[in-house]
Amino acid sequence: MTMTSPTPTAPVKLAPPPKGSAPHRPSRFRMGAGQQMKGGPFAYIALAVVGFGSLLPLYWTLVAASRTQDEVLASTPPFLPGGKLVENLQTAWEQANLGKAILNSIIVSSSITAATLFFCTLAGYAFAKMRFRGRGWLMTAVIATLTIPPQLSVVPLFMMMSGLGWGGQLESVIFPTLVSAFGVFFMRQYLIEALPYELIEAAKIDGANNFRIVVSVVLPVARPAMMVLGMLTFVQAWNDFFWPYLALNQQNPTLQVALGQLSASYTPDQSIVMAGALISTLPLLAVFVLFGKKIVGGIMSGAVKG
Amino acid sequence: MTGLDSMEWVGWENFDKILHDPEFWTSVSNTFLIGVISTVPQLLVALGLAHLLNYRLRASTFWRTIILTPYATSVASAALVFALVFRADGGLLNWTLGLVGFDPVNWANGHWTSKLAISIIVIWRWTGYNALIYLAAMQAVPNDLYEAASLDGASRWQQFRKVTIPSLRPTILFTIVISTIGSMQLFGEPLLLEGGAMGATGGNENQYETLSIYLYNYGWNLGHLGPAAAVAWAMLALLLLIAAVNWLIGRYVVRTSDSAVRTGATR
């Protein structure tokens, strides 16, 4: 499974014609439809519309979280934030065990991220640079697991976790996700190109053992990819819903589980639910505002490699 | 819940049970329909968005970040906000439709409207993400191709169709596969659209019950893990079936677009 970037098949690459060599052609065609084209007003209008649509539900979460339920459910919905935000946040905090939920979400997401980075970098390095028997079909097997829906594993996982005495415990959410096939593949793709064999050989000649090579050679080279993988893994772990919802309960939830159960109660107060939604979304949104450029770049580089 | 120790060998009985349950087949068709309604527009819009983002823009990072914010929102938060937006009486959407003179729609109750509502949540969350993936692929297209095409007199639309799209083919196939897998597993959106007991059965007439909801309802709500596991296997079988169809369509698309763009420019 190699994804090479498309390259022109023409064997001879012609130098671009000097400017003005084709005066009868409008210059905008020569720029191509690609990145050099300047966006016209239409592009900005279209992007603004999509951007508005992207932000509106988030803005409206804030509006609803700062109103009373009656105002939220009125036949003309409110459009401006009200003054009940702090009160609603407090009620949501108490009703849905949110303090514990936030702590749990942080524990779960960081341990999954740390473990994924550790295992995927090691495995990615092995698959990229070490020669061993069965490397090809092992990698294929790892990739093949990507197509298996998580639903297939929830019943046996649930039984295993109960058997281990981890029912309702954070372990039941953390341990099944310590390593991801996508992560192994991602790190492998990156290291194949980024880590030259010469570097490893040089370290070997200097007497470094395998452990030393990983620490002093592989990790520094792998750092940019690890940043990307770390971000993707953290977002996914933070927002994961299906398995945590089955495995955990209201006494010991992650944020998403707490939120789901807050809304599943018999008479959920919608403004309180929205306050909970706000609490669960804000941390990631803050990260997005601070590191937007890095995250965008990460997803785009991951897309090309993956 | 059935005691885990009290399980016994029943052969194919669990499969028999779900395959004779009309609710199972409703879930299959719901999952499939929601998958189509959510994936197709999402990827088309993402392609157009990526094209826009590929222009030289002021504050390009700003636009990219804005478009990616729904990706940072969790399923639970997104589903809960949209549940309010889709409310029959006084929901944001019905209110807006009212301004244009439409009667209020009972989104969650209707067979089609509920599927549309769930699809809109999915589209909202994933379009920006897919647009960035397309954008990355677009920026990897060598500029020579566009120059060659424009020298041959290709218009911008022709360049988009005959250079950009074929160059993006592997990426497009990738996103189709990923979105298909994702849409087979929709759980949070239908569970929380109305919430409570409605969510666990996918609406009062199971009108938006997906396979994941069916599995959850059987295994965790009703407490029969055996049939739930059978549902899981059925999901895998369906996924493989869809993957096979995807692959066939992909092969067909590859062949036709190859013969259409035999200028040697694409690969």
- Domain map of chain A by residue range? 96-305
What tokens does B145 get? 């191709």
> Which of these ranges, B94-103, B151-160, B244-253, has the smallest mean pLDDT?
B244-253
Residue in A35, A50, A64 nearest the CB of B56: A35
Return the percentage of chain A with pLDDT > 70, whole number: 86
The confidence score (pLDDT) of residue B29 equals 93
Give, in order, the Cα–Cα distances in Å from A51 to each of A37, B203, B240: 21, 31, 36
The confidence score (pLDDT) of residue A115 equals 96
CB-based contact A121:A222 (threshold 8 Å): yes
- Distance in Å, alpha carbon of A39 to nearest chain B alpha carbon: 5
Would you call A180 helix, strand, or coil by DSSP? coil
More confident residue, B246 or A254: A254
Residue A254: pLDDT band with limits 50, 70, 90: very high
Cβ distance of A155 and B228 shorter than 8 Å: yes
Residues 6+ apart with CB under 8 A from B94: B87, B88, B104, B105, B107
Instruction: Write out pLDDT tens, residues A203-250.
Output: 989 988 888 999 999 999 999 889 889 988 998 999 999 999 999 988
Question: Which residues in chain B have their CB less than 8 angstroms from residue A155's CB?
Answer: 219, 225, 228-229, 232
Instruction: Write out pLDDT tens, residues A114-143.
Output: 999 999 999 999 999 988 999 999 999 998
Count interface pairs A-B at CB distance under 8 A.
285
Cβ distance of A76 and B95 shorter than 8 Å: yes
Cβ distance of A9 and B232 shorter than 8 Å: no
Residue B256: pLDDT band with limits 50, 70, 90: low
Instruction: Pick the most confident of A41-50, A71-80, B99-108.
Output: A41-50
The confidence score (pLDDT) of residue A266 equals 64
Question: Which residues in chain B have their CB less than 8 angstroms from residue A98's CB?
Answer: none
| ipTM exceeds 0.95, yes or no | no
Please report, as a single letter, which amino acid is at residue B29. S
The confidence score (pLDDT) of residue B215 equals 93
The confidence score (pLDDT) of residue B255 equals 66
Q: Which long-range contacts (CB under 8 A, 24 or more apart) does A107-112 make?
A: A107/A170, A107/A174, A108/A170, A108/A173, A108/A174, A108/A237, A108/A244, A108/A254, A109/A234, A109/A237, A109/A238, A110/A234, A111/A174, A112/A174, A112/A177, A112/A178, A112/A233, A112/A234, A112/A237
Mutate to test the interface with B, among A76, A148, A151 (most CBs of B within 10 A): A151
CB-based contact A279:A89 (threshold 8 Å): yes
Cβ distance of A43 and B95 shorter than 8 Å: no
Residue A1 has pLDDT above 50, yes or no: no
More confident residue, A208 or B255: A208
Residue in B53, B92, B174 nearest the CB of A60: B92
Residue B258: pLDDT band with limits 50, 70, 90: low
Q: Tokens 């070490």 sit at which residue?
A: A130
Closest chain B residue by Cα to residue A286: B72
Give, in order, the Cα–Cα distances in Å from A97 to each of A68, A84, A150, A152, B90: 21, 20, 27, 30, 30
d(CA B202, CA B192): 9
The confidence score (pLDDT) of residue B112 equals 92
CB-based contact A117:A226 (threshold 8 Å): yes
Instruction: Write down the mean pLDDT value for chain B.
Output: 85
d(CA A127, CA B41): 37
For chain B, helix (H) and strand (E) counts, in that order, are: 13, 0
Per residue, what are the HEC states of B187-222? CHHHHHHHCHHHHHHCCCCCCCCCHHHHHHHHHHHC
Instruction: Write out pLDDT tens, residues B9-18.
Output: 888 888 888 8
B160 DSSP assignment: I
Residue in B73, B95, B139 nearest the CB of A281: B73
- Distance in Å, alpha carbon of A208 to nearest chain B alpha carbon: 38
Please report, as a single letter, which amino acid is at residue B164. T
Cβ distance of A241 and B239 shorter than 8 Å: no
The confidence score (pLDDT) of residue B160 equals 84
Give, in order, the Cα–Cα distances in Å from B88 to each of A76, A211, A260, B108, B115: 12, 62, 21, 8, 15
Q: Spelled out in words, what is the top-level CATH class assigned to the domain B10-259?
A: mainly alpha
Would you call A124 helix, strand, or coil by DSSP? helix
Closest chain B residue by Cα to residue A1: B170
Residue-range domain boundaries for chain B: 10-259
Question: Which residues in chain B have their CB less than 8 angstroms from residue A11's CB?
Answer: none
Across residues B149-167, what is the average pLDDT? 85
Residue A67: pLDDT band with limits 50, 70, 90: confident
Q: Which CATH number fits domain A96-305: 1.10.3720.10, 2.70.40.10, 3.40.50.300, 3.10.180.10?
A: 1.10.3720.10
A13 DSSP assignment: P
Structural Rg of chain B based on CA atoms: 22
Residue A2: pLDDT band with limits 50, 70, 90: very low
Across residues B175-199, what is the average pLDDT? 87
A137: how many CB neighbours lie within 10 A of its CB?
A: 10
Q: Tokens 């439409």 sit at which residue?
A: B102
Residue in B62, B127, B147 nearest the CB of A32: B147
Residue in A33, A235, A264 nearest the CB of B72: A235
Length of chain B: 267
Question: Which residues in chain B have their CB less than 8 angstroms from residue A295's CB?
Answer: 65, 68
Residue A18 has pLDDT above 70, yes or no: no
d(CA B178, CA A174): 24
Residue A13 has pLDDT above 70, yes or no: no
Residue A22: pLDDT band with limits 50, 70, 90: very low
Question: Which residues in chain B have their CB less than 8 angstroms from residue A255's CB?
Answer: 74
- Distance in Å, alpha carbon of B61 to nearest chain A alpha carbon: 6
What tokens does B228 get? 């739930």
Cβ distance of A37 and B64 shorter than 8 Å: no
d(CA B156, CA A42): 15
| Run of H or E residues at A216 | none
Mutate to test the interface with B, among A296, A301, A304, A305 (most CBs of B within 10 A): A296
Residue A167 has pLDDT above 70, yes or no: yes
d(CA A302, CA A291): 16
Would you call A47 helix, strand, or coil by DSSP? helix
Instruction: Write out pLDDT tens, residues B10-63.
Output: 888 888 888 989 999 999 999 999 999 999 999 999 999 998 998 888 888 889
The confidence score (pLDDT) of residue A6 equals 37
Instruction: Determine the Cα angle at B256 with ends B255 and B260, to 5°.
Output: 120
Query: Counting Cβ atoms within 10 Å, is residue A78 exposed (0-12), middle (13-18) or buried (19+)?
Result: middle
Instruction: Write down the mean pLDDT value for chain A.
Output: 82
CB-based contact B60:B54 (threshold 8 Å): no
Return the percentage of chain B with pLDDT > 70, whole number: 92
Mutate to test the interface with A, among B49, B55, B130, B193 (most CBs of A within 10 A): B55
